[in-house]
Amino acid sequence: MRIANLSGRLVLVSGDRALDVEVASSGRFAANPQAIYERWAEFVNWAKTQDASAGSVFDASALGPAVPRPPQVFAIGLNYASHAGESGLSVPENPMVFTKFVSSFTGADVEVELSGDTVDWEVELVAVIGEGGRDIAESDAWQHVAGLTVGQDISDRTVQFWGDPAQFSIGKSLKGFAPIGPAVVSLDEVDAVADRSDLAIGCTLTRADGSTEVLQNGRTRDMIFPIPTLIAKLSELVELLPGDVIFTGTPDGVGLGRDPRVYLQPGQSVTSEIEALGSIRQRFVPRRLPA
């Protein structure tokens, strides 16, 4: 099962077709794509009886953030040893956690304004929580995951490294800096085509002249703290809530880690893709200052 946020409405997706959940369920489930995680088990059972390929053709530019207003957003820094190394930072003993404020969430195929000349890319696997809880055992953790999706942890490195200690949360929460989508893919659908613990993950730059460059190309098996460990460690400390999301960190290949450093320019776009989950794309434009 794939679910998405089409113009603010919850849909089931199959290929290029989408079935409106509120209409198909005769109002049993609301249109709000965020509300469904409160009734996740009930929704999954209903969705099994539906055929999304009977829905209408849709355009990716109408996709909003697959999870639009998570109650809590966790993001993990330095969760791949290769990325910690390129950042000049040591591998953490415990997950390094920050947040991306929800006002930064955006859709799967969008324009993003560059806040300055040090804006960087970070493709990330995003886990979406179904049933929440505290003190979730690592062995039970996958049962608390509603699905997986693709995210970009776009980062203004200047703001991120204002002062000491650094300010990860604000530097990664500017307008449009948290695209996620195109859909939340259930674990059974991932398992049918791939290994949920070892997905190919990467992103590619397209320049204004049409030339392309692979920026990141990794495997999620290289996470220092895999998703079950993150859920266990986070839920020891805080209650996980239905519809929370976890950005699980980025592999190596970011602009900050290059010599010389390279950052995004207006007119460029980045396509981020994860095996079994699909891809998202941002087109970068100059900051529009208020008149």
Residues forming contacts to Zn ion in the complex (CB under 5 A) are 122, 153, 250
Q: Is residue 32 classed exposed, middle or buried when 0-12, 13-18 and 19+ CB atoms within 10 A define those classes?
A: middle
Q: Which is nearer to Zn ion, 99 or 250 (CB)?
A: 250
Determine the residue with CB nearest Zn ion: 153
Whether 182 and 279 have beta carbons less than 8 Å apart is answered as yes
Report residue 136 as tokens: 């979730």
Measured between alpha carbons, how far is 39 from 116 in angstroms, rounded to an integer?
41
CB of residue 70 vs Zn ion: minimum separation in angstroms? 16
Tokens 């290059």 belong to residue: 258
CB of residue 120 vs Zn ion: minimum separation in angstroms? 9
Q: Which is nearer to Zn ion, 37 or 168 (CB)?
A: 168
Q: Which is nearer to Zn ion, 205 or 256 (CB)?
A: 256
Q: Which is nearer to Zn ion, 122 or 275 (CB)?
A: 122
Whether 179 and 3 have beta carbons less than 8 Å apart is answered as no
Tokens 């409405």 belong to residue: 9
CB of residue 124 vs Zn ion: minimum separation in angstroms? 6
CB of residue 24 vs Zn ion: minimum separation in angstroms? 36
Measured between alpha carbons, how far is 225 from 228 in angstroms, rounded to an integer?
8
CB of residue 15 vs Zn ion: minimum separation in angstroms? 30
Q: Which is nearer to Zn ion, 109 or 153 (CB)?
A: 153
